[in-house]
Amino acid sequence: QVQVVESGGGSAQAGGSLRLSCTVYGLDFDDYGGSWFRQAPGKERERVSCIGYTGASAHFVDSVKGRFTISRDNAKNTLYLQMNDLKPEDTAMYYCAVDTARRRSCSAYSSSFTYSWGQGTQVTVSS
């Protein structure tokens, strides 16, 4: 059974930084892409960033490009999201998600794809 355990998050002021981590158990993580999603109150969930299983490719939603960095350490089965220059509109619950399909490209995204999900961690950015 796959377990995805998140850590990090919290509160920051606008312009500040936070780092999210998630560790994956029960899976050969180096065969699967990893993503971070977020959902703000009253809004739909969106995929913030995705990194391929090798770590060689990454995708970002336009609103975070140049501010967020995604990375992975396959030796530690861990996925990271470094968030810099935070804005109040980044306030949301953030979820780590591991693809259920082996070696699927991040460029191939559909809302019908299935993932193993973390429990979520709140990020709150004040102005």
Q: What is the pLDDT of residues 6-55, one digit of tens each?
A: 999 999 999 999 999 999 999 999 999 999 999 999 999 999 999 999 99
- pLDDT computed for residue 109 by the predictor: 86
Q: Quick one: pLDDT at residue 91?
A: 98
Contacts 24+ apart (CB under 8 A), 79-84: 79/21, 79/22, 79/24, 79/34, 79/36, 79/51, 80/19, 80/20, 80/21, 81/8, 81/19, 81/20, 81/21, 81/36, 81/48, 81/49, 82/17, 82/19, 83/17, 83/18, 83/19, 83/20, 83/123, 84/17
pLDDT at 107 over 90: no
Which of the four pLDDT bands, split at 50, 70 and 90, describes residue 63? very high
> Which tens digit of pLDDT belongs to each residue from 70-86?
999 999 999 999 999 99
Q: How confident is the model at residue 64 (pLDDT cuts 50, 70, 90)?
A: very high
